[in-house]
């Protein structure tokens, strides 16, 4: 029952804190907009030049605009983007597991007296492999993300 009372008190304190924070942030945002001379600016985003779609009349403005159905975006995301992310996560997890097992194998070999003449090299080898794999996969991920970004048909 004490927990229930403390829970209610905690809830009210969170509400008061959040309200105060929002009031502070609105004031801070207005001050920054004034300092940066962006007080009267609207957020206008240009349509990407590579954006493809069909022209249709906007129900809001009445002007023609490029339209791309959300179901097509969802289809691409579901059958290309998410599986690619999953494959990459599984692949990296598998490679890290192999490196950890390799490190354990080297540790066992050093413990039983094998590989003593290569001790300094064998202790560093898994760490060097991990650094190389990280660098290589970073480049691969950049290429994949660029490709996915170029394939994603978004207006902004």
The pLDDT tens digits of the residues spanning 141-155 come to 999 988 888 777 654
Where is mean pLDDT largest: 28-32, 51-55, 83-87, 149-153?
83-87
| Domain shared by 94 and 141, yes or no | yes
Overall average pLDDT of the 110-138 stretch: 82
Percent of the chain with pLDDT over 70: 88
| Domain shared by 97 and 52, yes or no | no
> Across all residues in the chain, what is the average pLDDT?
83
Q: How many domains does the chain have?
A: 2
Would you say residue 94 has pLDDT above 70?
A: yes
Packing angle, helices 82-111 and 119-151, rounded to 10: 180
Asked whether the beta carbons of 115 and 103 are under 8 A apart, the reply is no
**Residue 98 domain boundaries:** 68-151
Q: Which residue has the higher pLDDT, 76 or 152?
A: 76
Q: Could you give the CA distance from residue 6 to residue 11 in angstroms, rounded to a whole number?
A: 8
Using DSSP, state whether 40 is helix, strand or coil. coil
Would you say residue 6 has pLDDT above 60?
A: yes
| Domain shared by 90 and 129, yes or no | yes
pTM of the model: 0.56
| Domain shared by 52 and 79, yes or no | no
| Domain shared by 80 and 122, yes or no | yes
Quote the pLDDT of residue 43: 60
65: Cβ–Cβ under 8 A, 6 or more apart, which residues? 47, 55, 56, 57, 58
Q: Which residue has the higher pLDDT, 30 or 43?
A: 30
Q: Please name the helix (run of DSSP H) or strand (run of DSSP E) that holds residue 112, with its range, or none.
A: none
Would you say residue 63 has pLDDT above 50?
A: yes
Quote the pLDDT of residue 155: 43
């Amino acid at each position: 029952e004490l927990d229930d009372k403390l829970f209610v008190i905690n809830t009210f304190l969170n509400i008061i804190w959040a309200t105060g924070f929002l009031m502070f942030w609105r004031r801070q945002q207005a001050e920054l907009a004034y300092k940066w001379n962006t007080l009267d600016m609207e957020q206008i985003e240009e349509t990407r030049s590579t954006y493809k779609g069909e022209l249709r009349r906007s129900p809001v403005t009445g002007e023609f605009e490029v339209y791309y159905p959300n179901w097509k975006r969802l289809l691409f995301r579901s059958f290309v983007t998410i599986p690619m992310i999953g494959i990459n996560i599984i692949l990296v997890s598998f490679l890290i597991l192999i490196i950890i097992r390799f490190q354990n194998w080297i540790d066992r070999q050093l413990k039983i007296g094998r590989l003593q003449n290569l001790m300094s090299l064998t202790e560093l080898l898994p760490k060097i492999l991990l650094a190389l794999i990280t660098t290589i996969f970073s480049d691969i991920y950049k290429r994949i993300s660029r490709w996915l970004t170029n394939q994603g048909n978004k207006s902004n």
